[in-house]
Amino acid sequence: MLVFLNFIIGFTAALIGVIPPGLLNMYAAKISVEEGRKRGLVFSLGVCVTVMLQTFVALIFARFLDMHPEYVDMLQKVGLGIFICLTIYFFFIAKDTRREMPEGMERHSKTNRFFSGMLLALLNLLPLPYWLYISITFAGFGWFSFGQVELMATVVASGMGTFGMLAIYVWFFRKQHKPEKKGVNMNYIIGFITAIISAITFFKIFNDF
């Protein structure tokens, strides 16, 4: 049962985490438009490999913290600071996602697209604190296990969820052929999400005093 819960949590969390337009999903969409859907999907596979590695590292660290709860309070305070900074960044600093996507992308082979997906995903470090927060929070409710099998189920699910959402971007923007036209600055949505997470973390820290 816990394996199934870990898989569902991993898949859902990964899917939600890639919904807001960002560097990876919009780059996958642009590749799909300019080079074809297959190369966009190959790029997405490369991204998923890196995401799975990042998820694995984050869950190993989270398992350590789960066995040493004395560090959890400190991590929550650090996490609160990080999410507050992210909220400020996405609301006031980040560039408008409605801007036109840059031109001049060179064509690459499918193999190069796979490795470029892996390397570009390495620049995104958000999965590390994201999975730390998700795993420790759900473990506190007894819905998440750090057993070896359960952990691997979460890692695989994170890759599948990430690929699923990237594939939607690849398919949708390939069909529409107009990825640069968006009516909403999605940074505001991301900022709203991080603000909610900050508020939840703040009240949890406040109640623990």
More confident residue, 156 or 73: 156
The pLDDT of 96-125, averaged and rounded, is 67
Sequence ranges of the domains in the chain: 2-208
Q: In which band, very low, low, confident or very high, does the pLDDT at 158 lie, cut at 50, 70 and 90?
A: very high
Q: What percent of the chain lies above the pLDDT cut of 70?
A: 72
Q: Can you give the pLDDT at residue 3?
A: 92
Q: Is pLDDT at 106 greater than 50 in this prediction? A: no
Q: Can you give the pLDDT at residue 11?
A: 94
Q: In which band, very low, low, confident or very high, does the pLDDT at 10 lie, cut at 50, 70 and 90?
A: very high
Q: In which band, very low, low, confident or very high, does the pLDDT at 102 lie, cut at 50, 70 and 90?
A: very low
Q: In which band, very low, low, confident or very high, does the pLDDT at 37 lie, cut at 50, 70 and 90?
A: confident
The pLDDT of 189-200, averaged and rounded, is 70
Q: How would you write the chain as a 3-class SS string?
A: CHHHHHHHHHHHHHHHHCCCCCHHHHHHHHHHHHHCHHHHHHHHHHHHHHHHHHHHHHHHHHHHHHHCHHHHHHHHHHHHHHHHHHHHHHHHHCCCCCCCCCCCCCCCCHHHHHHHHHHHHHCCCCHHHHHHHHHHHHHHCCCCCCCHHHHHHHHHHHHHHHHHHHHHHHHHHHHHCCCCCCCCCHHHHHHHHHHHHHHHHHHHHHHHC
Q: Is pLDDT at 105 greater than 50 in this prediction? A: no
The pLDDT of 164-193, averaged and rounded, is 67
Reported as a single tens digit per residue, the pLDDT across 79-97 is 677 778 777 876 777 655 4
Q: Is pLDDT at 57 greater than 70 in this prediction? A: yes
Q: Can you give the pLDDT at residue 128?
A: 84
The pLDDT of 43-69, averaged and rounded, is 90
Q: Is pLDDT at 130 greater than 90 in this prediction? A: no
More confident residue, 72 or 35: 35
